[in-house]
Amino acid sequence: MNTTAQKKIVVTPNKVLVTGAGLLGVAAIEKFLSAGWDVVGVSRRKPKLPSGRDIEFLSVDLRDEKAARTAFEPLTDITHIAYTAIHEKPPVNSLLRLVAVRCA
């Protein structure tokens, strides 16, 4: 008798962290939600989505390194990062690299 153990494959949904909730961020959030992704939004103020849908949201000023590190610490299941901004200066870009490395 040939018994083969079958492995159960668990598919984890993609979870994206979208920073910046302006015009580009809101458009990105809507697209990811429409594609079935779990979305975490990050900005100083929570956006109102045109669709009326709700998302997991973190109110963080990315220019405040300590606050950003504290807010991002529990985010262990992020699979992708979408950074939407018109102007970027350090330390924001280095903080996002830190999150990307932690999530990899």
What are 26's two structure tokens?
A: 């809101």
Q: For residue 86, what pLDDT is reported?
A: 59
H helix count then E strand count, the chain:
3, 4
- Which of 65 and 84 is assigned the larger pLDDT? 65
Residue 77 maps to which CATH number?
3.40.50.720
Residue 3 falls within a domain, yes or no? no
Asked whether residue 76 is domain-assigned, the answer is: yes
Q: Which domain holds residue 33?
A: 15-103
Answer yes or no: are the C-beta atoms of 42 and 19 closer than 8 Å. Answer: yes
Residue 42 is assigned to a structural domain of this protein: yes
Residue 7 lies in a domain: no
Q: Is residue 1 part of a domain?
A: no
> Is 44 inside a domain boundary?
yes
Q: How far apart are CA 61 and CA 42, in angstroms?
A: 8
Domain total in the chain: 1
Is 0.85 surpassed by the pTM of this model?
no
